Structure 1
């Protein structure tokens, strides 16, 4: 009998710990999902009690925050408090939010490497929990978690590649042959110097419209490229001296909100996106291009213009 009890004790000791923060009517569904992930729910509290609860908490593996049914102001304050605590203790956050709460909840969490889910299905929520939780030594192999981890790995690799390309565009000078115009074999076209003038915002908007035009003739899934769509939108907004909210950028990405939020976080981590506090509402933030990304976009359009000139 002792041999049957000891393995159960080892499993419990190795189980990841999770704190659930949600509205009362969302507690049961979230708790069931956490239990199904194999994690140990240490407490479940409402947003009003979250500050006091995390102040008592020494360590956690994960905070599960469900903003559904919570007033935007309270949801934003709770998200900011959870992000600050998690950053200090290297704790992961999985946040579930309705589309209407994207600006209130996502803004304070983007810089915290949180997993953001918008109107997620139970399967999407389960996959996010499994991907965020540390893997206990005694836990059985889980194919869903492996698929999610592999997808996130590929996503990070793609963003790293994009960041490298943009960095090279911003750093390299053009290779120009007066007889044939701009030319470079093997390494691709080179960028204009960083001092190249910004393009007319209408040029960038035309590029965005051209991308949307494809969807009238081909399936949108064939050309999904949210990183580039968001870079274009933020660059156009920068030239127009216009601020871009998180929700607006999700729309510009032309993909489901959860996918867009994941890309925003990844591009932020890659040093291409920054956050600018909203002067009228300290709880919210706008997404901006970093100087590095803006320089690369300027170089891209300068080189593109010269390419068109040579072609003519």
Structure 2
């Protein structure tokens, strides 16, 4: 792609550039700015001190639906940005290519059922739709496990649920009492076995970031450990931007919960929701009862 600047990306996405402002002046500009469709926040290479004051305002804009926020960042900035920009209306791109930036801007600007005709942009939209459907499938599976349903073939519940509508009024059932007990070591061994596949078949062939992150958070829960967003991105074993999108969808689906760091407001931890925790425990118990290996 010919363009290499943020301005070029906006134009390539079919947008109209309303202006460019420094991080130092961003708060004043955004508070006075009229209606916008998308805000592109280029954080790569910018100091934490310059970025931190602007993030709450960007998050508020995204949550209120006033504009979509597309933020680019370096891997080292994941914890800083994700601690605040964790709500709806935000797309975090870690070290994106120009094509990824343009695709994200294009998708963010799609309103009122607008259609995208570019093949590469359509492909990105399809990938995001599949991600939503896969997360919904995982959420439904864990919900069945919390109810003690192990055979899903005859379930009358829909296979695809709304990712943006987590179950309300959830109450965890009592823990299983069949004597089956899973340990953090069991989960860590399962994770190591999954990573061994990459050594023999190459990375990318068996990508399953949702499950990898569930296993990592389940092991951390059993260890009484906390997991940062950047650490969970590593556990997902996919590109950071892909992992961040999975984290967003899993949080929206009610499977992950953000836990602010009481000692550093610039960082947040992630943990399993009560529903996801019970589902994982019941799954582990069912595996143990069957004498099967955790996969």
Q: TM-score, normalised by structure 1?
A: 0.80
For residues 123-150 of structure 1, give each alpha carbon's deviation from its aligned partner in whole angstroms, at most 9, with x where no partner exists: 1111111111125999883223222111
Partners of 2:263 and 2:73 in 1: CA distance: 23
Q: Say whether the 8 Å CA contact 2:62–2:90 is kept in structure 1.
A: no
Change in 2 beyond 3 A, CA 1:199/1:53:
same
* Aligned residue in 1 for 2:265: 282
Q: Which deviates more, 76-85 or 289-298?
A: 76-85
Other structure's SS at 2:20 match: strand
Matches within 5 A, 1:193-212: 194-196=174-176, 199-212=182-195
Q: Which deviates more, 199-208 or 84-93?
A: 84-93
Q: Say whether the 8 Å CA contact 2:148–2:282 is kept in structure 1.
A: no
Matches within 5 A, 1:67-146: 67-134=43-110, 141-146=117-122
Change in 2 beyond 3 A, CA 1:123/1:186:
closer
Q: Say whether the 8 Å CA contact 1:272–1:290 is kept in structure 2.
A: yes
Q: Does structure 1 residue 243 correspond to structure 2 residue 226? A: yes
In structure 1, which of residues 36, 56, 77 is the aligned counterpart of residue 32 of structure 2? 56
Change in 2 beyond 3 A, CA 1:291/1:36:
same
Other structure's SS at 1:259 match: helix
Q: Give how far 1:196 is off.
A: 2.2
* Aligned residue in 2 for 1:10: none
Other structure's SS at 2:201 match: coil
Other structure's SS at 2:46 match: coil
* Aligned residue in 1 for 2:163: none
Give 5+ residue unaligned stretches, structure 1: 1-27, 175-183
Change in 2 beyond 3 A, CA 1:268/1:185:
closer
Partners of 2:50 and 2:220 in 1: CA distance: 29
CA RMSD of aligned residues (A): 2.4
Partners of 1:131 and 1:138 in 2: CA distance: 10
Other structure's SS at 1:110 match: coil
Q: Runs in 1 of length 4+ with deviation above 3 angstroms?
A: 135-140, 184-188
* Aligned residue in 2 for 1:302: 285
Other structure's SS at 2:204 match: helix
Change in 2 beyond 3 A, CA 1:236/1:138:
closer
Partners of 2:142 and 2:112 in 1: CA distance: 39
* Aligned residue in 2 for 1:35: 11
Give 5+ residue unaligned stretches, structure 2: 156-172
Partners of 1:234 and 1:139 in 2: CA distance: 37
Change in 2 beyond 3 A, CA 1:283/1:170:
same
**Higher RCO (CA < 8 A, seq sep 6+):** 2
Partners of 1:53 and 1:185 in 2: CA distance: 52
Which is higher, the Rg of structure 1 or of structure 2? Answer: 1
Other structure's SS at 2:216 match: helix
More helix by share: 1
Q: Give how far 1:90 is off.
A: 3.8
* Aligned residue in 2 for 1:12: none
* Aligned residue in 1 for 2:242: 259
Q: TM-score, normalised by structure 2?
A: 0.84
Partners of 2:154 and 2:38 in 1: CA distance: 44
Q: Give how far 1:122 is off.
A: 0.6
